[in-house]
Structure 1
């Protein structure tokens, strides 16, 4: 995400030192990469959050692939790596333009709709939400060559089985998709201008109403929305889900219901601002709980960091947990462990680990108590130490794992756990180096406690 300096360690320590009420505020979901254009999807009681990806060195838009994160508790998000990229569209020869996508499921297959800026909207299909995704058409699904407005597709399947795709900046377009989800019937419809509409539509239905959320007029953008009694409109502008604010430059909505609550996702520059005051196109996804009024209208949501989101279930430490499943890990990176694996292509290493950095895992339920911890790691030089602490980066230390040089071979290392590791706590893996090595201490794969 950034060039490592001692400043990053200092920032990480500052964040850890914040009171729990502060650290519980809605900072960006992902800290190991820059993410934008959130597209949540519910599958098998798990939220799959697809995002676009701003490159670490982006000044303007520099976007080559799409990422995936999952959660079941709304606090800890697991990095699932790159699910698709521009190279999946062989008919596109550029190396930039992987803008906002959406993935929907139908008849056991998963369809990824992607704008290839200046070359229309393409579609990919996979048998799994993790991919691999393939291009069934070998050409754009939609391409209005007379302009560059074909961006930001949103796809919705109505109760009667009819699917719709909306998209466009600054104008709003719609087609009816066929059941195969890779073709459409009828003409492309250009909708009348919706007040404050800019781009990034997100269509869904709740009760008897259809909703179209969108990024509202730039700059800065907010999140606006319109309602209709029909999936084809007409759309009535209803106001803001999140108002325009100078605290961020852009926004892009994704909305989903999960375990009895409604959530709105968007984007901001809050992670970038931990590094620098100037603006670059290096955005981060955040989300907040959202509430409806009795008439179906939406209550305005405060800015992301002015919200708190409750954890909806505790994390089980006695299962094998991937290190890339975390609530906070500023300064760290993730890389694919084996990008060529078909069954575990989503698996990641946590890497770029420097002295003083840490992984925070929210809401871990130790029950009656843990007795032993196993970690899977590798180190190429001197290694380091993993301190396991409760509730704070400087909280009670309940275990310590000494990581030697493993010659880059993955090893399982074990440590005894103190009796304090019982009940529900936030869990911190704090990394320490020595005089001979303070940066790139190790790569961290997974962890598991034992009773």
Structure 2
């Protein structure tokens, strides 16, 4: 009887462990309170930062941008509004979407979508205050095919910076050293299979990874795929194992991501939005973070959207 009871208890324990691994009804808590989307995550100094879109309005009519900081990726502090379109920008008043940030020349350059144009602001600190660098768009509405939104800037090891942007197509151009101008005749437009929007680029072990969102942000199938190249300008070859990030169970619409490396370590995390849980949709999205891992060949492994992030310190 004792042996039988042990077997039954062992089976119960095994079943409980199995359930914990396959539970798709209890997603990890969000990292930002309320509804925020399109998070750009970065590490500066001893802190991590997230620059999101303020969500919660049909048509995505937000008018300002906020920043958030963290010492451990788990607890986040509001740095409040860092750029307000009606107050700080003369050429756009609404549709403040999908920002990104880059550091060069001792300055922080903040790239943002505003009324389907792309602008750039500059500050001395990652929390601003940011000031419009041009007094006009960096990329004007309808300049190319598709929407002129979702900027991302990658600064390479040699200091060269590259701008990636666009919905419908992924447009790539090398920025000038001032970070606020470029040669428009040098723009390359590509469209990897499945590409919709939200491009992001990082470098690991000499390889350039271009990732993007597929489907529409209002679609529960919204997901992230990637390609690899030997150059920041491409050509990029889409990986066989895709998507790397997608919803499962209660998590829907997982996409529009960014990726950060813990400084000094081969340790990576992906920030993204998902439909608000419960009752969210493409206008009510919330920000989450998950670990990002690679296999021995450098392929990105599928992200587990139910894995909780443990506190991480920058040394």
Pairwise TM-score range, normalised by the shorter structure: 0.7 to 0.9
What's the CA shift for 1:174?
1.1
Match of 1:72 in 2: 71
Match of 2:275 in 1: 269
CA-to-aligned-CA distance 1:13-66 (integer Å, 9 cap, x gap) = xxxxxx9x99x96221112x31111111111121011111014xx233221111
Question: Which secondary structure does the structure 2 equivalent of 1:63 belong to?
Answer: coil
The answer as to whether partners of 2:246 and 2:254 remain within 8 angstroms in 1 is: no
Match of 2:17 in 1: none
Match of 1:40 in 2: 41
Match of 2:177 in 1: 179
TM-score by length of 1: 0.59
Task: Check if 1:140 corresponds to 2:137.
Answer: yes
Question: Judging changes above 3 Å, is the alpha-carbon distance between structure 1 residues 250 and 98 closer, same or farther for their aligned structure 2 residues?
Answer: farther
What's the CA shift for 1:296?
1.1
Q: 1: CA distance between counterparts of 2:269 and 2:191? A: 26
Match of 1:240 in 2: 243
Q: 1: CA distance between counterparts of 2:132 and 2:313? A: 37
Q: 2: CA distance between counterparts of 1:68 and 1:144? A: 25
Task: Check if 1:254 corresponds to 2:258.
Answer: yes
Q: 2: CA distance between counterparts of 1:242 and 1:84? A: 30
What's the CA shift for 1:153?
0.5
Question: Judging changes above 3 Å, is the alpha-carbon distance between structure 1 residues 313 and 182 closer, same or farther for their aligned structure 2 residues?
Answer: closer
Q: 1: CA distance between counterparts of 2:114 and 2:297? A: 38
Match of 1:427 in 2: none
Match of 2:126 in 1: 129
The answer as to whether partners of 1:117 and 1:148 remain within 8 angstroms in 2 is: no
Q: Look at both structures and tell me which one has the larger radius of gyration over its CA atoms.
A: 1
Q: 2: CA distance between counterparts of 1:250 and 1:233? A: 26
What's the CA shift for 1:188?
4.6
Alignment of 1:62-211 (within 5 A): 62-87=61-86, 88-92=88-92, 94=93, 96-118=94-116, 120-143=117-140, 145=142, 147-211=145-209
Match of 1:386 in 2: none
CA RMSD in angstroms comes to 2.4
Q: Mind listing any 5+ residue stretches in structure 2 that lack a counterpart?
A: 1-19
The answer as to whether partners of 1:101 and 1:112 remain within 8 angstroms in 2 is: yes
The answer as to whether partners of 1:255 and 1:263 remain within 8 angstroms in 2 is: yes
Greater RCO (CA < 8 Å, at least 6 residues apart): 2
The size of the alignment, in residue pairs, is 282
Question: Judging changes above 3 Å, is the alpha-carbon distance between structure 1 residues 234 and 111 closer, same or farther for their aligned structure 2 residues?
Answer: same
The answer as to whether partners of 1:30 and 1:285 remain within 8 angstroms in 2 is: yes
Task: Check if 1:29 corresponds to 2:27.
Answer: no
Q: 2: CA distance between counterparts of 1:148 and 1:160? A: 31
Task: Check if 1:310 corresponds to 2:286.
Answer: no
The answer as to whether partners of 1:176 and 1:186 remain within 8 angstroms in 2 is: no
Question: Which secondary structure does the structure 1 equivalent of 2:138 belong to?
Answer: coil
The answer as to whether partners of 1:221 and 1:245 remain within 8 angstroms in 2 is: no
Q: 2: CA distance between counterparts of 1:34 and 1:183? A: 33
The answer as to whether partners of 2:146 and 2:169 remain within 8 angstroms in 1 is: no
What's the CA shift for 1:209?
0.3
Q: Mind listing any 5+ residue stretches in structure 1 that lack a counterpart?
A: 1-18, 315-451
Q: 2: CA distance between counterparts of 1:64 and 1:300? A: 34
Question: Which secondary structure does the structure 2 equivalent of 1:187 belong to?
Answer: helix
